[in-house]
Amino acid sequence: MVNNSVIEQLPEHLKCFITDQYHELYTPQDHAVWRYVMKQNLRKLTLVAHPAYLDGLAKTGISIESIPSIDEMNHILSKIGWAAVAVDGFIPPAAFMEFQKHKVLVIAADIRPVDQIEYTPAPDIIHEAAGHAPIIVDKEYSDYLRNFGEIGSKAFSSKKDNELYEAIRHLSILKADPYSTEKDIVEAEAKIDHISNNMGIPSEMALIRNLHWWTVEYGLIGDLEHPKVYGAGLLSSIGECTSAMKKEVTKLPYTIEAIHYNFDITKPQPQLFVTPDFAHLNKVLEEFTNQMALKKGGLEGLLKAIASGNAATARFASGLQVSGIFTNVLSQNGQAIYLNTTGPTILCYKNKMLPEHGKDHHQDGFGSPIGKIKGSLKPIRLLSDADLAELGIIKDLPSEFEFESGIKVTGILRSLIRKDRFVVLMSFSDCLVKYQERILFEPSWGIFDMAVGEHIVSVYNGPADPVGYGLNYEPPTEKTHKIIVPKETRERHKIYTSLRNIREGHEPVSHLTEIWETYLNNSTHDWLLACEILEISKTHHLHYSKDIENHLKLLSESRPELDQVISNALSA
């Protein structure tokens, strides 16, 4: 892999998703599929794509002639502060967002089969490299993409989200495999329908993924009557890019309301959203962010963390961050007054784990009151040693105090930690913590480390310090199916290679006549192969060009599913 500082700085827990591209394994037909799609897209996108896309194609070094290597792309992307890595199909949404946060494009290295040339239900290199990469050359859009990753990686998922992700990944793998049975596909579609219809209240991740879909993947820009395309899903799909501009596809102004529009990744979209400009994208994202636990914190945020079942972080008003799996919260009058994690937990400040407060120290979980001490005019974080003494809290002496919530703490203050003049943590020995008749902590449990803060200002997905926490992602167990190419197809691939050699001047044009005769004698007529032969014959004004055109027209008449792709090729 080409050296790229962006990739080198990726956190370790993301690297498990990175795979090799194996560029040498692309077949000659794969390169022909890439070439066909790129030629058609360029012809149509010149009229409908945002200017930044066409400019970006040149700047990112993406050629229409053959599938780019990710190494080549990284050489170019490094100049604009981005990078690309190969992954196996869909990866979990949180990981996808985090890659984006670090300005890394994840590229599914497989390429769509020829029978899905207009639209593919699975991510592929045409979608990722030709769709996503060029548009990030635009600085304003690039900033939006990175910002989206930053926010999206902190959004809470639900267990149902994870089920739906796995079901969608499974279906996309099946649909990309020509050997999948109709029965398996129908069963996979039914499973997605069942999960989708029983999702319950949408999670933050479900809602923000809708925003991602209607902007990054399927976004339009400009005015409602004559918008331009900037979404990668449209830029990389001949079929959808064409249909997107039809009146039958509803065009809506892009607002926060887009969070309520779900999508089916395996089907064309019934409506699309139009943003007036790229700056507006960040305005809507900020509006959504203000609704997230990341910004609101409090009881609502802690309940989202508990519901997710994943590692999360709660930040106290003092700045102290508690990262672990949250399992319980006590509340009073709609306010959180005590929180608990279960299992290994770390304490952090400004996203760095505090010394001696890692998983080893808090291996069984963590609990702490939230709020102000009764009788104190100031929050605990603002109290000086003298202020604490007035409340009877003096180092190495027994103390007893009560929170405004009624939580009582009895123990001996052994140490406290201040950061940026704030008290963030107080540690007590021989400590008893009670709420009404309930014991929250007892002396036999050891040292009671009490987080300081009158309220929880932020709660978000993931640990504050992933390295300190030892965060690990598990890559998907189901891998994209590697298609075994039959012998007959491999023979046709040799013809594709010869055609490329003729086009590039490595074989004489006279070989084309023999290739055309071989094609006609072959019982399996490959329409894409005929299109490649036609292109060269027309370039060199060969007399049988008309015969090839007539053959293709007859082929489209006998096989209606090929009518559009052949028509596109004949119009080029």
pLDDT tens-digit readout, 23-60:
998 989 999 999 998 888 888 888 888 988 888 877 77
Question: Does 8 have pLDDT greater than 60?
Answer: yes
Looking at the fold, whether 184 and 277 belong to one and the same domain comes out as yes
Query: Measured in whole angstroms, how far is the alpha carbon of residue 398 from the centre of its chain?
Result: 52
pLDDT, mean over the chain: 91
Looking at the fold, whether 45 and 163 belong to one and the same domain comes out as yes
Question: Does 264 have pLDDT greater than 60?
Answer: yes
| Most trustworthy range by pLDDT among 76-90, 445-459, 496-510 | 445-459
Residue 313 in any domain: the answer is: no
Give the pLDDT confidence score for residue 109 in this predicted structure.
86
- What's the chain's length in residues? 572
Give the pLDDT confidence score for residue 523 in this predicted structure.
65
DSSP one-letter code for 464: S
Give the pLDDT confidence score for residue 64 in this predicted structure.
85
Task: State which of 232, 266, 286 marks the end of a domain.
Answer: 286
CB 84 within 8 A of CB 129: yes
Give the pLDDT confidence score for residue 9 in this predicted structure.
87
Residue 344 in any domain: the answer is: yes
| Most trustworthy range by pLDDT among 67-76, 218-227, 337-346 | 337-346
What digits encode the pLDDT tens for the residues 469-480?
999 988 888 888
Q: What is the mean pLDDT of residues 7-28?
A: 90
Among 98, 433, 303, CA closest to 314: 303
Question: Does 386 have pLDDT greater than 60?
Answer: yes
Strand duo 83-87 + 104-108: pairing:
parallel
Domain of residue 513 covers 487-571
Tokens of 486: 């039959």
Looking at the fold, whether 48 and 116 belong to one and the same domain comes out as yes
Q: Out of 115-124, 454-463, 492-501, 563-572, which region has the weakest mean confidence (pLDDT)? A: 115-124
Give the pLDDT confidence score for residue 184 in this predicted structure.
93
Question: Does 265 have pLDDT greater than 80?
Answer: no
Write down the number of H helices and E strands in the chain. Answer: 22, 17
Q: DSSP of 414-433, one letter per residue? A: EEEEEETTEEEEEEEEEEEE
Task: State which of 456, 471, 495 marks the end of a domain.
Answer: 456
C-alpha distances (whole Å) from 459 to each of 310, 316, 337 are 12, 9, 15
Give the pLDDT confidence score for residue 432 in this predicted structure.
98
C-alpha distances (whole Å) from 477 to each of 17, 140, 473 are 11, 37, 12
Task: State which of 238, 260, 286 marks the end of a domain.
Answer: 286
Strand duo 352-353 + 335-349: pairing:
antiparallel
Looking at the fold, whether 413 and 560 belong to one and the same domain comes out as no
Higher per-residue pLDDT: 267 or 347? 347
Q: What is the mean pLDDT of residues 493-502?
A: 92
Question: Does 76 have pLDDT greater than 60?
Answer: yes
Looking at the fold, whether 262 and 385 belong to one and the same domain comes out as no
Q: What is the mean pLDDT of residues 193-221?
A: 93
Looking at the fold, whether 421 and 523 belong to one and the same domain comes out as no
Give the pLDDT confidence score for residue 425 in this predicted structure.
98
Among 357, 362, 356, 358, CA closest to 342: 362
Higher per-residue pLDDT: 374 or 489? 374
Alpha carbons 245 and 90: distance in angstroms, whole number: 27
Give the pLDDT confidence score for residue 266 in this predicted structure.
64
Looking at the fold, whether 381 and 424 belong to one and the same domain comes out as yes
What digits encode the pLDDT tens for the residues 102-142?
999 999 888 888 888 877 777 888 888 888 888 888 999 99
Tokens of 498: 């010869």
Question: Does 2 have pLDDT greater than 70?
Answer: no
Among 5, 17, 3, CA closest to 96: 17
Q: What is the mean pLDDT of residues 451-479?
A: 94
Share of the chain above pLDDT 90, in %: 64
Question: Does 453 have pLDDT greater than 90?
Answer: yes
Residue 310 in any domain: the answer is: no
Please tell me the total count of domains within the chain.
Answer: 3
What digits encode the pLDDT tens for the residues 316-367?
999 999 999 999 999 999 999 999 999 999 999 999 999 999 999 999 999 9
CA 448-452-454 angle, to 5 degrees, is 135
Looking at the fold, whether 371 and 502 belong to one and the same domain comes out as no
What digits encode the pLDDT tens for the residues 271-285?
999 999 999 999 999
CATH number of the domain that residue 19 is part of: 1.10.800.10
Tokens of 184: 């398996």
Looking at the fold, whether 104 and 189 belong to one and the same domain comes out as yes
Give the pLDDT confidence score for residue 51 in this predicted structure.
87
Q: What is the mean pLDDT of residues 446-457?
A: 97
Q: What is the mean pLDDT of residues 408-413?
A: 98
Give the pLDDT confidence score for residue 222 in this predicted structure.
95
Give the pLDDT confidence score for residue 3 in this predicted structure.
62
Give the pLDDT confidence score for residue 80 in this predicted structure.
85
Share of the chain above pLDDT 70, in %: 98
Looking at the fold, whether 329 and 265 belong to one and the same domain comes out as no
Q: Report the predicted TM-score, pTM, of the whole model to 2 decimal places.
A: 0.88
SS3 of residue 370 by DSSP: coil
Question: What does the H/E/C string look like for 208-276?
Answer: HHHHHHHHHHCCEECCCCCCEECCHHHHCCHHHHHHHCCCCCEEEECCHHHHHCCCCCCCCCCEEEEEC
The CB-side HSE value for 390 (13 A sphere, CA atoms) comes to 11
Residue 475 in any domain: the answer is: no
Residue 299 in any domain: the answer is: no
Among 327, 329, 331, 348, CA closest to 339: 329
Residue 202 in any domain: the answer is: yes
Residue 306 in any domain: the answer is: no
Residue 479 in any domain: the answer is: no
Looking at the fold, whether 452 and 491 belong to one and the same domain comes out as no
Partners of 251 in beta bridges: 272
Looking at the fold, whether 143 and 220 belong to one and the same domain comes out as yes
CB atoms within 10 A of CB 114: 17
| Most trustworthy range by pLDDT among 89-98, 265-274, 463-472 | 463-472
Question: Does 246 have pLDDT greater than 80?
Answer: yes
Alpha carbons 348 and 357: distance in angstroms, whole number: 8
